Chain A
Amino acid sequence: MDLALQLLFTGIGIGAVYALVALGFVLIFRATNVVNFAQGEFSMVAAYLMVVFAVDLGWPYWLSFLLALAGMALLGAIFNLGVYYPLRHRTFLPVIIATIGASILLANSVLAIYGPQPQVLEGWFETPGIQLGPVYLDSQYLLIIAVTIVLVIFNYWFFEHTMLGKKLQATSQDKEMASLLGISVSTMIMITFIYSAVLGGLAGILVAPVLFVSIQMGSTIALKAFAATIIGGFGDVAGAIIGGLALGIIETFGAAYISVPYKDGFAFLVLVLFLVFRPQGIFGERVAEKA
């Protein structure tokens, strides 16, 4: 029982990371109808930026953190201009192939610069964690969970209660109508990419002290996050968060009770089960193309 509680805590912590990346997926999907296959690389690049600023250059953690997020905002903008925007009038297939190309480019550029050795990033806090009854609460996991909760609330407030959020929503629902109402659709899409890159980067920075900072972390996180969006219901914000948490928990328990080397395989198994038996996910509705 104690072990189960401990695993539950770890699972929620790791699931929160998937949820953040999944949120980035969903926001871009809603704005552009395209899945950004480089979303996971945003997390990876941000973690490496942290290593550059905080470890290699030895700058203060908070400053490195802000600089890394600023770097992600810049990367999001470049990504939009270089990968998505030129292809915006094409069908989805060229666009996803281009984002896959971008993902390969990002991962291997970092590999070429940093080499294959995983890097180590310290956590934010000096204290490693606290013992609460039978459960040991790792401080980094606590931080991840706290940040995720704050971001979910911020996200809700931003999209439901600010003008900019409402404009973004309008763009994702009907681009033509939005542009007729004087909303600059290309600006909204730009903001979406920047916001998603920052979200993905945040997830990467938060999870880096728990995992190693490695080239593979991007694709691993992206797969999990994608599975999370399917479990929750594709394109659904609440679904992405719940799917992410569920996947984190399933994976942690699977690794503890079934098999460690196949830890990364559970996400795939859950993904296929959902695709076969409930492709619309927990919350989603199936939508048909209009004839």
Chain B
Amino acid sequence: MVDDRTREAAFALHRFGLGPRPGSIAAIASDPRGALLAELERPGIGAINNPDLLTSAQASRAGFEAQAARQAKNVLAQRAQKEAERLAAEERQGMSEEAGKMAEPAKPAAAPQVDPAATPERQNFLKEVRARLDAALLPEIGFAERLVWFWSNHFCISRDVVPNMAGGYEREAIRPHILGRFADMLLAVEGHPAMLVYLNNQVSIGPNSVAGINRTRGLNENLAREILELHTLGVRTGYSQTDVFNFAKVLTGWTILPPVNNPEHGAEFVFNARMHEPGPQQVIDKTYPDTGVEQGRAVLADVARNPATATHIATKLARHFAADDPPPALVERLAKTFRDTDGDLKEVAKTLVVSPEPWSSPRDKLKRPSEWAIALSRAVGGRGDPQRFVNGQRVLGEPLWQPPAPQGFADTEGAWIDGVGARLDIANNVAQRVAGRVDPGEVLADALGPLASAETRAAVALAETRQQGLVLALMAPEFQRR
């Protein structure tokens, strides 16, 4: 049935993709499942190849330089002010008492104003946002980009801690592996400077290492714990505090080259043997000989392959793509593919598409703010404005690359539904901007097709203005959910 296919196409674009652009539903209606699978085979899918973008290390060094230059400017300004105060005081001493009273004390010189929007760091960030918006707005479906977002949130870092590396981190550690092997992504992530700084491993020192003996600083368990709890096995899956402790020792020496004084190098991964805890370590029933940086790689390779990791990842994927309460049959199907293929993420993504559950689970998964905001831009044919997108995400409680904690942004309705009022304000602003060039009925047809309920169609058609009709279309339950 053609109608069923059209409905399925619209469904797929919301559930697996980033929402239809005008024409998307028709474009994939002949074979929605095939179109999803075909997107995964497209060469370069998921990558951002933009020569203008700095690597995370370059961005970090540039940020360091800019910060240092601003600091020097401040020091000069302070010196100038002190000098001005001194001269004023001398002048007052030379005057009569009466005149001295009337003389104005030297006004504090205004500190040099730095427009935060104009800093090199901000410009770099906005370039990264522009590239990420393009990656989300241009593809017909956006299934691969949804996978990027999923993995970026799974292995999240925060701009609060690593302000200049977030975009580069995603491009370097996440994107190349979304359809590759989980173990490779894991290795890329845990060895990335952004993650090492975010979870404090760059300062973790083995107590019995050369550096540990010479200094009083020591071990930091943060990265080791989050790898096991959040990134691989999952919480309460059998590992012990001793495993965390020993794994942390294994990871000592995984640090970054400090971004100082060398324009060519800095803020890159480096294994510092002087910080590395010597000796074999036992992690989850296996003893790893001290092979330096290889010791950590060996542990990561094993936890990547652990069946608990397969189940953990499968559960999160099923929750993200199918339902807040993940269907157990889907979880098992995904976990089995993960186990059978040694964590081949393309095979896992394909299993998601060919399994019945993502197609049969009720269409009531509330879109996260970012999913809704991008779907909205796609629906009205917008190109997306980086600054506006960033501000909107902040208002909606999902600031880009800035989750509140290492577990990332929540993936269930309860965390987001109370933000519907803020979504309304944003929809209203967008509608004001585009009401002159788009028709609400067409947007409804393009974005939801047969998924739009009779009630929604009526509300949009009877709206008082095009702007109001657009707001109702973009706020309709069918558009808020996927």
Q: Do these two chains interact?
A: no
Please list the residues of chain A having a beta carbon within 8 angstroms of any beta carbon in chain B: none
Please list the residues of chain B having a beta carbon within 8 angstroms of any beta carbon in chain A: none
